[in-house]
Amino acid sequence: MVNVTMRDVARAAGVSVNTVSRALAGKPDVSPETRARVLKVAEELGYRPNKLARGLRSNKTRTIGVIVTDIANPYFGALVKGVREAAYRHGYSIILQDTDEDYAREGEAIEVMLAERVDGLLITPVQTGTETIEKLKESGLPFVLLGRHFDDLETDYVVTDDVQGGYLATEHLIKLGHTRIAMINGPLHISSAKERLEPRYCARG
């Protein structure tokens, strides 16, 4: 395997080595066009930065941990793909773990991410307990919950509006004339499943 260097990327992209370094590091003084060109060339050449050396210098690994509950689920597949694309655009890579909705595996996955010294973590929690997320908070590692959240635990999270989604889906069926409506849902300890049954929109005319 040919070892592609930063100098090789600079030569192919028509920029200096310093510009390549700053573009890959996501520095703000590199134009979006130049950064896009450098990232494209780096990917085409198969450039792989020496993250160990870079991490020792900056105390950053430029990696983001991603923990999901079922990578075979198309929802999480699309989610991870989006995360990976956004991370790459900013000069980051991702490390992926799948818990298979297993609480013990969630704890193990978090330990892996801490050992890998990721710069931040995106996690879809299993939600059969809060201890793993509480320990994650104590670790000081920046993290965001994806798709699920806790009512009794203060964290940053990004979720869809499952209450409104449940309402709109039901309203659509009612407008089609259906009166006997069934729902197939997930376990109600999962916030998204619980909120799809939330009745607060029913009082609206």
Task: Give the pLDDT of residue 79.
Answer: 92
Task: Give the pLDDT of residue 116.
Answer: 86
Task: Give the pLDDT of residue 57.
Answer: 52
Is residue 144 within a helix (H) or strand (E), and if so which, with residue range? strand 143-146
Task: Give the pLDDT of residue 148.
Answer: 92
DSSP code string of 19-67: HHHHHHTT-TTS-HHHHHHHHHHHHHHT----HHHHHHHHS---EEEEE
CB 117 within 8 A of CB 59: no
Could you tell me the two tokens for 78? 């699309």
Give the integer Cα–Cα distance in Å for 44 and 37: 11
Helix (H, G, I), strand (E, B) or coil at 119: coil
Could you tell me the two tokens for 139? 């670790």
Task: Give the pLDDT of residue 13.
Answer: 93
Task: Give the pLDDT of residue 203.
Answer: 43
Task: Give the pLDDT of residue 34.
Answer: 92
Task: Give the pLDDT of residue 204.
Answer: 45
Task: Give the pLDDT of residue 63.
Answer: 92
What is the chain's pLDDT, residue by residue, as a tens digit (205 residues)?
457 888 889 999 999 988 988 888 778 888 989 999 998 998 888 887 665 555 545 567 889 999 999 999 999 999 999 999 999 888 889 999 999 999 999 999 999 999 888 999 999 999 999 999 999 999 999 999 999 999 889 999 999 888 888 889 889 999 999 999 888 888 888 888 888 877 654 444 4
Q: Which domains does the chain have, with CATH numbers?
A: 6-49 (1.10.260.40), 60-158 (3.40.50.2300), 162-203 (no CATH)
Helix (H, G, I), strand (E, B) or coil at 204: coil
116 Cα distance to chain centroid:
16
Q: Which residue has the tokens 């049954």?
A: 197
Give the integer Cα–Cα distance in Å for 150 and 172: 29
CB 61 within 8 A of CB 117: yes
Give the integer Cα–Cα distance in Å for 48 and 41: 12
Give the integer Cα–Cα distance in Å for 48 and 34: 19
